Amino acid sequence: MGQLFGTDGVRGVANADLTAELALGLSVAAAHVLAEAGTFAGHRATAVVGRDPRASGEFLEAAVVAGLASAGVDVLRVGVLPTPAVAYLTGALGADLGVMLSASHNAMPDNGIKFFARGGHKLADELEDRIEAVYAEHRTGAPWDRPTGAGVGRVSDYDEGFDKYVAHLIGVLPNRIEGLKIVLDEAHGAAARVSPEAFARAGAEVVTIGAEPDGLNINEGCGSTHLELLKQAVVEHGADFGIAHDGDADRCLAVDATGAEIDGDQILAVLALAMREAGQLRGNTVVGTVMSNLGFKLAMEGEGIGVVQTGVGDRYVLESMKEHGYALGGEQSGHVIILDHATTGDGTLTGLMLAARVAATGRSLAELAGVMRRLPQVLINVPDVDKSRVATSGELAAAVADAERELGSTGRVLLRPSGTEPLVRVMVEAADIEQARAVAGRLADAVKSALG
């Protein structure tokens, strides 16, 4: 058995990689590990379980609920809600554990399981490792210690979760968003009901697309990974802007009134200035990743705001924010974490905060996003090379140094071994797209020569 937990829970093709047996076994293992760790000490344990609308979520939810209840954990089923809603409800209801069934922006055949600790925070790596080890141990035949009689967990539906989460979103908004016409693309996903309700309650005129999930159409040609329909709808409806979520609504990308894309870096820039103005940008710093556009870093430096860069992945952004007490961080892909109001990326909250800034300033989203200029970025994947030697190749180091001298302070080079494939990613940013392409092409050739 390979490693089950990745950077965002356990994910794979439902009923092939991610089976009912695996979901049940991991849930029992999680209950036992958290009990060992003292999470359940002195009281009867409770878990919040939610899912996105994928067809496979129905049987996987049943398996997770069965596993938890068989281990003596009471289960509150919240149904189809976004990942950040399950995280919020885990904390707000004082639950010991949260479980979300979703494969986020992946295609419909995939699904995933993500566990949240008490408070709605992602489980620590060592707990995930322990769950995996305990699951493997019992899968080979060691019997579980099972409660009987009144000791088994009870299962109930928590229908109030929808309203409780929407009320939370509205409650943290700094101002109303009346007068704005906004198109929402829900990716036929977990936010199909929540997001339109929240924006409407906050005062916006809402036009909704991609909000008819049937279990099979999640992320299909819509949402944050396919912005074409949103761009068309914003222009056709004469909307102020549009918001796109992914399948589990932990991401938010935007489209301005002309149909131009506003990515996660630009959203972060807008929110950083709003939060600094409100005295909420702790440390006068925002957290991004090494893939954040150089234009974002230059814009923030121009505004006197510090930028901390982490490895790629919202978990690393979150770790840095928690360690240093920062309030805002995120990724170019639209994972934005506003730590005072959410324990994870929350696409609906991010979109609402963006709308609140537009409403408060009376400026268009395009004008607000203009605080930064995205530098042209060229990415080349170089396959079939020895990615383990990226950091030790002298030939490659010399090529990178030459490229960095040519680009100066207005460009950037990043070589990154893929975490899952035998390839190296070459990323170059420059003030001019032709220069970026030329430098990236030369570096890709250098990677093949040095590591091939």
Parallel, antiparallel, or unpaired: how do β-strands 74-80 and 46-51 relate? parallel
- For all residues of the chain together, what is the average pLDDT? 94
Distance CA 84, CA 91 (A): 11
Question: Phi and psi for 412 in degrees, rounded to 5?
Answer: -155, 150
Question: Phi and psi for 316 in degrees, rounded to 5?
Answer: -75, -35
- Positions in the chain short of pLDDT 50: 1
Task: Write down the pLDDT at residue 125.
Answer: 87
Task: Write down the pLDDT at residue 420.
Answer: 62
- The reply, when asked if residue 246 is annotated as ligand binding, is yes
- The reply, when asked if residue 248 is annotated as ligand binding, is yes
Residues spanned by CATH 3.40.120.10 within the chain?
5-161, 172-369
Architecture of domain 377-451: 2-Layer Sandwich (3.30)
Token pair, residue 6, equals 């990745």
CATH H-level superfamily of 5-161: Alpha-D-Glucose-1,6-Bisphosphate, subunit A, domain 3 (3.40.120.10)
Active site residues: 104
| Share of the chain residues as helix, strand and coil, in percent rounded to the nearest 5 | 40, 20, 35
CB-hemisphere CA count at 13 Å for 141?
Answer: 0
Total length of the chain: 452
DSSP state of 36: H
CATH H-level superfamily of 172-369: Alpha-D-Glucose-1,6-Bisphosphate, subunit A, domain 3 (3.40.120.10)
- The reply, when asked if residue 163 is annotated as ligand binding, is no
Distance CA 275, CA 281 (A): 5
Task: Write down the pLDDT at residue 419.
Answer: 67
> What is the DSSP track for 149-217?
GGGSPPEEE-TTHHHHHHHHHHHH-SS--TT-EEEEE-TTSTTTTHHHHHHHHTT-EEEEES----SS-
Q: How far from 179 is each of 217, 240, 367, CA to CA, in Å?
A: 32, 9, 17
Task: Write down the pLDDT at residue 1.
Answer: 46
Task: State the pTM of this model.
Answer: 0.91
